[in-house]
Structure 1
Amino acid sequence: MSSKDQTGAGRTRRPRREAGTDTRAPEQERTPHPGGRPRDPAIEEAILKATRERLATDGYTRMTIGDVVADAGVTRPTLYRRWPNKYELVVDALHYGLQKQRDAYPPMDVDGVAPLEAFTEAVRRLDPRYHNERAMALHGNFMGEAEREPALFEQMREHGNKPRCAELMQTLRHLQETGAVRKDADLDTVVVLCFGSYFGEYLQTGAPTPADHADRVVAALWPTIRADEHG
């Protein structure tokens, strides 16, 4: 791995350069030529997709800029004009995938469906592989880097997992306010159980998420949280 690809652990959004390690590209590579052609979104997308594939296959530590540019069919200067180092590239690749998943969600009208259906749809959206079949590998690699690259793991938690779980929590609270869910229901635990069920299923089988997974999870939990009049 070249020195450009190495990063230190435990930093914040932009990594600190350590002695003897230059994570930045040369200035002439990082600064676009004045008056040059505008950036091509298709090139940026190709780089981000190649980064995500490498993250799933190799993990953060083993992934190199050289591999990414080769996979994307671009040059190092092309990549470094957009991202100063591997860490910044990976953060943007993570956000790119999360946005793609959010865009793939169908509209959800909690008021327009039955409480059980609303709960089921919200659980279905928790699936990390809702839009990306390799999402479990990405999660595993980020978790494996938690001690060496805690900032990356935090990016996954804050911008991937927490918003996904927050949508389920919002749905459950709405159902609680409308009287469909018991006032004393432990919603935090329900969210953890629902989200964790996808990882438990994958760790046990290694297979794609079953089509009826959300239905089975909800069938097990709904009797414990529903209000008596919604039995």
Structure 2
Amino acid sequence: MTRDERAAREKDEKTSGRGTGGRPRDPAIEEAIIRATRKRLIADGYAQMTIGDIVADAGVTRPTLYRRWASKYDLVVDALAYGFTAQREAYPDIDMDELTAVEAFREAVRRLDPRYHNAGAMALHGNFMAEADRVPGLLEQLREHGVGPRCDELMNTLKGLQRRGEVREDADLETVVTLCFGSYFADYLRTGQPGAGVADRVVGSLWPTIAVSTHCNEQ
């Protein structure tokens, strides 16, 4: 939608009365604002990001934004939810029946990459960690809705492999999940690269330590 088209819709909202009593439900305008917010979060960080920049990028007015979101924080929470939903919808559940044990482990580790379906995610994580003392709710949102579901998927995969007798019963799965997730940040900080091959290297190192001996050679 062009800037002129959005302006026309804003005018319609005002004249029709849809702009009162809550957020107008024009998906195109909302999505333009959400996308502009996500880009500004990555480029500027939460503290430096301004409503003025967002409305300019989205091609809307401040009243249009504030009819939908009461504050910058509320807007960012919805912008995060938008991204989390897109990530969850980007891939199906891991099919444990179609994959070997190590293939299922590798796929779950691959999906841990914060940049999976969001190339700017490392900057986003860094920005929110920097704001942890001032705006702790942002990091909690990221932890609960972004990090948590990814780590849960790996944990559930490992527990499923345990039930199938392919992962050792005494394996410390919590530590395995932490090591796998943290490997992407360590690799990024060491190399600054996109992270190609991290899942293969991590699984190659960890699988022999957690697999039941008869499955150790499944690579």
What TM-score, normalized by structure 1, do the two folds share? 0.83
Q: Please tell me whether residue 217 in structure 1 is matched to residue 202 in structure 2.
A: yes
Residues 133-148 of structure 1: pairs in structure 2 closer than 5 A: 133-148=119-134
Q: Please tell me whether residue 36 in structure 1 is matched to residue 21 in structure 2.
A: no
Q: SS of the counterpart of 1:208?
A: coil
Which residue pairs with 1:175 in the alignment? 161
Measured after TM superposition, the shift of residue 33 of structure 1 is 7.1
Q: SS of the counterpart of 1:110?
A: coil
Measured after TM superposition, the shift of residue 113 of structure 1 is 1.0
Q: SS of the counterpart of 2:165?
A: coil
Whether the aligned pair in 2 keeps the contact of 1:65 and 1:76 (CA below 8 Å) is yes
Measured after TM superposition, the shift of residue 60 of structure 1 is 0.7
Cα separation, 2, equivalents of 1:160 and 1:92? 13
Cα separation, 1, equivalents of 2:18 and 2:170? 62
Question: What do residues 165-212 of structure 1 show as CA deviations (whole Å, max 9, x unaligned)?
Answer: 0000000000001100000000000000000000001111111121x2
Instruction: Write the letter of the residue equivalent to 1:61.
Output: A
Measured after TM superposition, the shift of residue 39 of structure 1 is 2.5
Whether the aligned pair in 2 keeps the contact of 1:105 and 1:125 (CA below 8 Å) is no
Cα separation, 1, equivalents of 2:211 and 2:69? 49
Question: What do residues 140-167 of structure 1 show as CA deviations (whole Å, max 9, x unaligned)?
Answer: 0000000010111111111111111000
Question: What do residues 27-58 of structure 1 show as CA deviations (whole Å, max 9, x unaligned)?
Answer: xxxx9776438622111111111101111111
Q: Please tell me whether residue 164 in structure 1 is matched to residue 146 in structure 2.
A: no
Match of 2:190 among 189, 199, 204: 204
Which residue pairs with 1:104 in the alignment? 90
Q: SS of the counterpart of 1:174?
A: helix
Question: What do residues 125-146 of structure 1 show as CA deviations (whole Å, max 9, x unaligned)?
Answer: 1010000100000000000000
Cα separation, 2, equivalents of 1:207 and 1:46? 30
Whether the aligned pair in 2 keeps the contact of 1:32 and 1:81 (CA below 8 Å) is no
Cα separation, 1, equivalents of 2:96 and 2:61? 47
Which residue pairs with 1:227 in the alignment? 212
Q: Please tell me whether residue 72 in structure 1 is matched to residue 54 in structure 2.
A: no
Which residue pairs with 2:49 in the alignment? 63
Measured after TM superposition, the shift of residue 106 of structure 1 is 3.7
Which residue pairs with 2:78 in the alignment? 92
Cα separation, 1, equivalents of 2:201 and 2:95? 22
Measured after TM superposition, the shift of residue 98 of structure 1 is 1.0
Match of 2:37 among 37, 51, 74: 51
What TM-score, normalized by structure 2, do the two folds share? 0.87
Cα separation, 2, equivalents of 1:215 and 1:70? 43
Q: SS of the counterpart of 2:117?
A: coil
Measured after TM superposition, the shift of residue 111 of structure 1 is 2.0
Task: Please report the RMSD computed on the Cα atoms of aligned residues, expressed in angstroms.
Answer: 1.6
Which residue pairs with 1:185 in the alignment? 171
Whether the aligned pair in 2 keeps the contact of 1:123 and 1:214 (CA below 8 Å) is yes
| Identity across the alignment (%) | 67
Cα separation, 1, equivalents of 2:59 and 2:155? 42
Structure number with greater CO (CA < 8 Å, separation at least 6) is 1
